[in-house]
Structure 1
């Protein structure tokens, strides 16, 4: 398994979690959205126009549970086009620590074993995102490398992407570029000296589109992503959602610079797989 991951930068583990576990997490995500007041802050998350950047609601979500809308959720007058539950892009970024259902799911002993088998010395759960990929308005996620955003020295980020529902070409499955994790990091996203989020280009070379491979998976599958693996997903124009849960790990044996976008209160440091109590 480790050799395949080292060679390809991506690993697909089918039937990693049960249908019941997926449904329980889906229900809890629904509960969080139900409790969310859309007037709290109408933050839109988009990787194409980056409208979420520059607002405190997003930039200080590293140790909170916050909801972000799809770009196409609002009409010209700023009103939701459809029900709130069908308008949310994602929940992020610390439900794995703050919500007991998400914590239990994230701290699966089998997942801890995968992290160990892949060579992580001190795996820490740094960020979580529950992604809805809503029917008809689920936004595109442009090609990127996770280590751009969760940078460590040396690189150690690993993404754990769980399919809550079947992910298909029709509803916007993920695509990866196997083997291209061996390429250098192309961008670094961080806070500059003034505290503003900036993206520094390190390499202008385009990713070869012909090397893209669709990662269609069934509910309960786990896709493991090397932090430098380029991956993306298209917009969901179908009438089927493509819900997924992503957990990002970093190795505590590596340095996590204070300039990373995702920061936390000193009272809430990154934790490993141990269950409280």
Structure 2
């Protein structure tokens, strides 16, 4: 299989913790996924929906059964601003959804083709050498609805897809133009080398979800120092891919424009025995849908020191 990434791109990812790859999907491919996402929004039945809202707040993060059993399904999560005080939608259902998840990469043929049946993805994974035998999980279309698309505060992805050692890698594909006005991503370059994983998002024994704090005072101080740098906003065009190291700090602002900001994103983690993904994680594989292996032949040379 031919190489996809250049040495300069690999060095940039290792240095900055993220990499923007323009035109990973061509315009037609991006338009097809965007049209499919909009079709899913149009067709989903709001009548029986539990009105589960997605929030990034540490105190009120979503954790009901609709969310916890979504890993092998296609489900719809509403924006916080889409409901009034009485729980009624304030807008059409297509404009009320924050994201669609979390089994798109397995269930929907179009998203599966991009994620698991894509030679460019396999070539990229082999070139990057971040994983030896990666599995894919947690696929989503994130919509960033006009005027109510919420801010996503500073975070790293390994908090939410925790492995020991950390091994999460995000693939974020713009399906529409992403600008400062509609919530383009911002990154803190190099923070993956300095900011430790201080907490993890878990299923609580009493039900629901919460955070388990891992940090010592020294780790907290290290994280605080690492998060003081200058963020870089990365505007994207439809089809652009951003690779996101699981430890790099990133965020996005509220969508203050009158335009949506659709993006398709999925993650990979290393499979056992090189990394442990345990039962505390909110997202769990099921007998009918185990996490799929990305590479046919896991024969990459191990170069990620954290996974040695």
* TM-score, with length taken from structure 1: 0.93
Which residue in the other structure is 2:98 paired with? Answer: 89
**Equivalent position to 2:201, from 181, 189, 193:** 189
Point out the more displaced range, 159-168 or 105-114: 105-114
Which residue in the other structure is 1:270 paired with? Answer: 291
Q: Which residues in structure 2 correspond to 1:99-138 (within 5 Å)?
A: 99-107=108-116, 108-119=118-129, 120-138=131-149
Number of positions where the alignment pairs a residue of Structure 1 with one of Structure 2? 275
**Equivalent position to 2:50, from 41, 53, 57:** 41
1:73-130 CA-to-partner distances (Å, cap 9, x unmatched) read: 1123322221111111000111100111110121221012111212121121111010
Give the 3-state SS of the residue equivalent to 2:101 in structure 1. strand
**Equivalent position to 2:88, from 57, 79, 93:** 79
**CA distance in structure 2 between the aligned counterparts of 1:49 and 1:258, rounded to whole angstroms:** 20
Q: Which residues in structure 2 correspond to 1:141-220 (within 5 Å)?
A: 141-182=152-193, 183-194=195-206, 196-201=208-213, 202=215, 203-204=219-220, 205-206=223-224, 208-220=227-239
Give the 3-state SS of the residue equivalent to 2:39 in structure 1. helix
**CA distance in structure 1 between the aligned counterparts of 2:187 and 2:236, rounded to whole angstroms:** 13
1:185-236 CA-to-partner distances (Å, cap 9, x unmatched) read: 1221122444542212324343535421111111111000000011110100
Is 1:69 the counterpart of 2:78? The answer is yes
Give the 3-state SS of the residue equivalent to 2:19 in structure 1. strand
Is 1:30 the counterpart of 2:41? The answer is no
Point out the more displaced range, 30-39 or 213-222: 30-39
Which residue in the other structure is 2:6 paired with? Answer: none
Counterpart contact for 2:55–2:62, Cα < 8 Å = no
Say if 1:230 and 1:53 are closer, same or farther in 2 by CA, change over 3 A: same
**CA distance in structure 2 between the aligned counterparts of 1:274 and 1:64, rounded to whole angstroms:** 23
**CA distance in structure 1 between the aligned counterparts of 2:283 and 2:15, rounded to whole angstroms:** 29
**CA distance in structure 2 between the aligned counterparts of 1:52 and 1:195, rounded to whole angstroms:** 13
Is 1:140 the counterpart of 2:151? The answer is yes
1:45-81 CA-to-partner distances (Å, cap 9, x unmatched) read: 0113664523111111111110001111112332222
**CA distance in structure 1 between the aligned counterparts of 2:295 and 2:10, rounded to whole angstroms:** 23
**CA distance in structure 2 between the aligned counterparts of 1:194 and 1:75, rounded to whole angstroms:** 29
**CA distance in structure 2 between the aligned counterparts of 1:52 and 1:26, rounded to whole angstroms:** 27
Deviation at 1:142, TM superposition (A): 1.2
**CA distance in structure 2 between the aligned counterparts of 1:164 and 1:263, rounded to whole angstroms:** 27
Give the 3-state SS of the residue equivalent to 1:211 in structure 2. coil
Say if 1:218 and 1:54 are closer, same or farther in 2 by CA, change over 3 A: closer
Which residue in the other structure is 1:240 paired with? Answer: 259
Misfit runs of 4+, over 6 Å: none
**CA distance in structure 2 between the aligned counterparts of 1:246 and 1:58, rounded to whole angstroms:** 17
Give the 3-state SS of the residue equivalent to 1:247 in structure 2. strand
Gaps of 5+ in 1: none
Give the 3-state SS of the residue equivalent to 1:162 in structure 2. strand
* TM-score, with length taken from structure 2: 0.84
**CA distance in structure 1 between the aligned counterparts of 2:95 and 2:208, rounded to whole angstroms:** 31
**CA distance in structure 1 between the aligned counterparts of 2:259 and 2:283, rounded to whole angstroms:** 31
When the two chains are superposed, the root-mean-square deviation of aligned CA atoms in Å is 1.8
1:133-166 CA-to-partner distances (Å, cap 9, x unmatched) read: 0111111111111000111122111000001011
Whose Rg is larger?
2
**Equivalent position to 2:23, from 4, 15, 19:** 15
